[in-house]
Chains A and B, each alone.
Chain A
Amino acid sequence: MKRVSLSGLEKSLSTVWKWYVYQSELSLSAKSRIRQQLLAGSLAADPVFFGMTLEEVDDFFRELDLLTILDLLAAAEAAIRVDFLNRAYQGRGSSVAVDFRKLYKKQGPRVRLDEHILETWTKHRRAARSAVSDFRGALKLRHWLAHGRYWTPKFRINYSPGDVFDIASNLLAAID
């Protein structure tokens, strides 16, 4: 069975979270300064923000949250896929490993996260169903962000990075 060459460069959820907390503090400090200048009626303005309404300033800084959400979901996907490959290579020790091996033999590296891996987890581990369901909800946001947000989303998009961190952590714990 041909094996995927693993880079070992994937980020963990906690690495992404630490980065976000640090950047978020810097970002909030800048946003607070801009809001105070605006409310004080100051005409001095960073060209980037000139003419922006408060709502537009908020949207500007919301980008950090959205990019972090994408990074958290990517980190979670990497963890789930590496776990899948390790179980598939082993192919024994649990019913899920046996199914993963069959899946890998059939699909190879084209195995799909949602339809194949997560679906298999819901069949083998009832306790993971709720966590998988929550993760699937956030995956819709991941696809929307990763594909450039060009369509009007008809699903929940108001996740915070904290929501996504919890959802991803719960799933990884549930399939551990």
Chain B
Amino acid sequence: MTNGEKVAESTAREFFHAKKRKSGGDIDWQARKAAWVASVEALFETIRQFLAAPVKAGDLTISRSPKTVVEEYVGRYEIDELVLQVGNERAVFSPKGINVVGASGRVDLIGERGERTLVVRPGNRWGIVVSRSPDVKVIPFDRVSLLESLKDVMRP
């Protein structure tokens, strides 16, 4: 190997090492996915608890439906959606993915009249996006914000 080739080899090693560092090459995506799935499970359990009364009264049924998500870096995986059924109307909490801007994951609440975005932040703190402009406003996910969101996306 000539000196020029040795320099090129060394430069290539540094170039790709720096690129790998910048591109998140050392991220443990399987661990992130496991944390994400657990976080969604915790959200769904919280929703079940918040809506236990209407379920017990027979006004609401809650079920699950499998969904396949394909994400860059993470690959293809199965995760459940949470389906709320009130008579002939449905509202679905649909996991969107781990890799979202400004958060650690996103679940969309999809109803017949609209959609709401739920995001999770470090510490497993779920929130609901209530505005994006001029600034992003996320309120904590609790009984009140859940009910308001459902009212927004479901039929009046």
| A residues apposed to B, CB below 8 Å | 34, 36-55, 57
Residues of A within 8 A of B119 (CB): 51
Q: Which of B71, B101, B104 has the most CB of A within 10 A?
A: B101
Q: A39-B27, A41-B104 are in contact. Are A47 and B99 (CB under 8 A)?
A: no
Contact B132 A54 (CB under 8 A): no
Contact of A44 among B71, B97, B102 (CB under 8 A): B102
Q: List 28 A-B contacts (CB under 8 A).
A: A36-B22, A36-B23, A37-B101, A38-B101, A39-B27, A39-B99, A41-B104, A43-B103, A45-B101, A45-B136, A46-B101, A47-B133, A47-B134, A47-B135, A49-B101, A49-B102, A50-B103, A50-B136, A51-B100, A51-B101, A51-B106, A51-B117, A52-B100, A52-B101, A53-B96, A53-B97, A54-B71, A54-B72
A57 to B97 Cα, complex, angstroms? 13
Residues of A within 8 A of B132 (CB): 47-48, 50-51
Residues of B within 8 A of A54 (CB): 71-72, 97, 99
A55 to B132 Cα, complex, angstroms? 19
Minimal Cβ-Cβ distance residue in B for A34: B101
Residues of B within 8 A of A51 (CB): 100-103, 106, 117, 119, 129, 132
Q: A50-B132, A51-B119 are in contact. Are A43 and B102 (CB under 8 A)?
A: yes
A9 to B117 Cα, complex, angstroms? 45
Within B18-44, the residues touching A (CB, 8 Å) are: 22-24, 27
Contact B24 A39 (CB under 8 A): yes
Chain B: minimal CB distance from A34 (Å): 6
Contact A53 B102 (CB under 8 A): no
Fill in one digit per residue for B101-140: 1 if any A CB lies within 8 Å of its CB, else 0.
Answer: 1111010000000000101011000000100111110000
